[in-house]
Amino acid sequence: MRITAIREIAVPINSTIRNAVFDFSEMTTSVVAVITDVMRDGKPVAGFSFNSTGRYACGAQMRDRFIPRIMKAQPESLLNDTGDNLDPEKILACMMQREKPGGHTERSVAIGTIEVAVWDAVAKIADKPLHVVLAEKYNRGKLLTKVQCYVGGGWYAPGKGIKELQDEIRARLDEGYTTMKIKVGGATVPEDVKRVEAGLKVVGSSDRLAVDANAGFNRARALQYAQALKQFKLRWFEEPTDPLDYALLADVASIYDSPIGTGENLFSTQDIENLVRFGGLREDRDIIQIDVPQSYGIVQFARTLAMLKRHKWERRSIFPHGGNQMTLAIVGGFGLGGCEAYPDVFGVFAGFADDAKVENGWLKLSDRPGIGFEAQNALYAVMRGLVSRK
Ligand code: MG
């Protein structure tokens, strides 16, 4: 058994949305296929992934370093002990050869994306959904059938006012979601307070509305928003500070009692450990939002969870960034707090199986082998194209 090829392609996301800091007009993502010599139904088993949302495609690192390292390794050195499947831990170690400590983002997205595609192949070879493979390995075999899922939305867009924001939230509730996250920080404080009040009117209770500042605040604005928003006791206040400004985050937490969420822009176990040691976060209410494919992938995520456990953080406090099937499988497999969804926002990269239905805020886990991209027609067409490419 061996990997016969690893291919990647950069695909534009084609989105007109904007958060407090930047627009997505140039955003791309890397789609990866890990092709094996294992045959099923006359076709080689291939694992797929993409690099989640919000970090640009990173094909150069993959082509220059990580793919050649895997392809140069002895095939047996990348297999599990029984030799009947690939071993993601060994493949991660293979990619990490000759890499200098620190400076994570330059490689963590490229490595994590390839690593998650390896897991898709592993689950397909085992003929099990990825969440089942992960539950057996990392959650004492505890199999879930559904996970909680909230909408990450409420973006700023040209011509979008309070009424349109409320229409957006209403449409999501009609689809079966119960909890909504909206952007803040792209307007003035009074305008954003009005948006929050308008959102609360639609969702009906404060624990069903979160806000996301996308790390765009300086000290003055972060503290101003914390003061202005604390009266609402929202589900959470996401990324009120620069991801690495742990001291300012601790200052925000000292005046903001309700939950804070952060972590989607920290890419290593050490960065997350620094966050919980120095960021003033409270393990009884705050949430951590690691993006797994952008942070070296699933093996490293398991190590991060072990570190968090030593700091008394439980899995229910982890809501990984990225509304996609990879995150869904990871949330279900590890038994995490919940999953994000981006209905209609990031083109073919948004969302779950084409026939997925949310019921009262819960989303069913896939029962297909692997991650289940095959149930997302438009996205799967891109992925399949990589396998047939010469
Ligand atoms: Mg966010």
Q: Is the pTM of this model over 0.85?
A: yes
Tell me the per-residue pLDDT of 11-56, one tens digit each, with 9 for 90 and over: 998 777 788 788 888 999 999 999 999 999 999 999 999 999 899 9
Tell me the per-residue pLDDT of 363-381, one tens digit each, with 9 for 90 and over: 999 999 999 999 999 999 9
* Cα 319 from Cα 317, distance rounded (Å): 7
CA-nearest of 335, 339, 338, 345 to 323 is 339
Residue 4 has pLDDT above 90, yes or no: yes
> 359 with 262, same domain?
yes
> 255 with 165, same domain?
yes
Tell me the per-residue pLDDT of 102-153, one tens digit each, with 9 for 90 and over: 999 999 999 999 999 999 999 999 999 999 999 999 999 999 999 999 999 9
SS3 state of residue 19: coil
**Which residues have a Cβ under 8 Å from the Cβ of 2 and sit 6 or more positions away?**
36, 37, 75, 78
Mean local confidence (pLDDT), 215-241: 97
Give the bridge partners for 363, in sequence order. Answer: 147, 358
Tell me the per-residue pLDDT of 79-93, one tens digit each, with 9 for 90 and over: 999 999 999 999 999
Structure-block tokens of residue 175: 């689809």
Burial class of residue 141, CB neighbours in 10 A (0-12, 13-18, 19+): exposed
| Catalytically annotated residue among 104, 131, 183, 364 | 183
Give residue 266's Cα distance to chain centre: 12
> 285 with 366, same domain?
yes
Q: pLDDT band at 319, cuts 50/70/90?
A: very high
Tell me the per-residue pLDDT of 338-357, one tens digit each, with 9 for 90 and over: 999 998 888 889 889 999 99
283 in a domain, yes or no? yes
* Cα 122 from Cα 380, distance rounded (Å): 18
132 in a domain, yes or no? no
Please name the residue that has the structure tokens 């067409």: 381
> 177 with 106, same domain?
no
Burial class of residue 82, CB neighbours in 10 A (0-12, 13-18, 19+): exposed
Residue 99 DSSP symbol: P
Ligand 1 centroid to 82 CA: how many Å? 41
Please name the residue that has the structure tokens 């968090």: 308
302 in a domain, yes or no? yes
> 209 with 120, same domain?
no
Ligand 1 centroid to 388 CA: how many Å? 35
Ligand 1 centroid to 319 CA: how many Å? 11
Ligand 1 centroid to 95 CA: how many Å? 28
Position 184 scores a pLDDT of 97
Residue 318 has pLDDT above 90, yes or no: yes
Ligand 1 centroid to 21 CA: how many Å? 11
Tell me the per-residue pLDDT of 173-200, one tens digit each, with 9 for 90 and over: 999 999 999 999 999 999 999 999 999 9
Residue 311 has pLDDT above 80, yes or no: yes
Ligand 1 centroid to 180 CA: how many Å? 12
133 in a domain, yes or no? no
Residue 163 a catalytic site member: no
Position 157 scores a pLDDT of 87
Position 346 scores a pLDDT of 84
Total domains in the chain come to 2
The runs of H, that is alpha helices, within the chain are: 59-61, 67-72, 88-95, 105-126, 130-138, 162-175, 189-203, 219-229, 246-255, 269-278, 298-310, 325-334, 377-388
CATH of the domain at 264: 3.20.20.120
* Cα 204 from Cα 219, distance rounded (Å): 31
> 15 with 162, same domain?
no
Position 25 scores a pLDDT of 87
347 in a domain, yes or no? yes
Ligand 1 centroid to 19 CA: how many Å? 9
Domain of 11?
A: 3-127+378-388
| Catalytically annotated residue among 321, 357, 364, 390 | 321
Mean pLDDT of the chain: 96
Give residue 95's Cα distance to chain centre: 21
Tell me the per-residue pLDDT of 235-263, one tens digit each, with 9 for 90 and over: 999 999 999 999 999 999 999 999 999 99
* Number of residues that make up the chain: 390
Residue 321 a catalytic site member: yes
What is the spatial order of strands in the sheet that 43-50 belongs to?
Answer: 3-12, 28-40, 43-50
> 274 with 146, same domain?
yes
Mean local confidence (pLDDT), 208-226: 97
> 74 with 172, same domain?
no
360-377 b/e with 16+ CB inside 10 Å = b? ebbbbbbebbbbbbbbbe
Ligand 1 centroid to 238 CA: how many Å? 6
Ligand 1 centroid to 376 CA: how many Å? 24
Position 236 scores a pLDDT of 98
326 in a domain, yes or no? yes
Give residue 364's Cα distance to chain centre: 17
| Angle value at C-alpha 218, between 215 and 222, nearest 5 degrees | 75
53 in a domain, yes or no? yes
CATH of the domain at 40: 3.30.390.10
Position 245 scores a pLDDT of 97
Backbone angles phi, psi at 3, to 5 degrees: -85, 125
> 143 with 112, same domain?
no
Residue 307 has pLDDT above 80, yes or no: yes
> 383 with 366, same domain?
no
Contact call for residues 152 and 341 (beta carbons, < 8 A): yes
> 311 with 268, same domain?
yes
> 348 with 382, same domain?
no
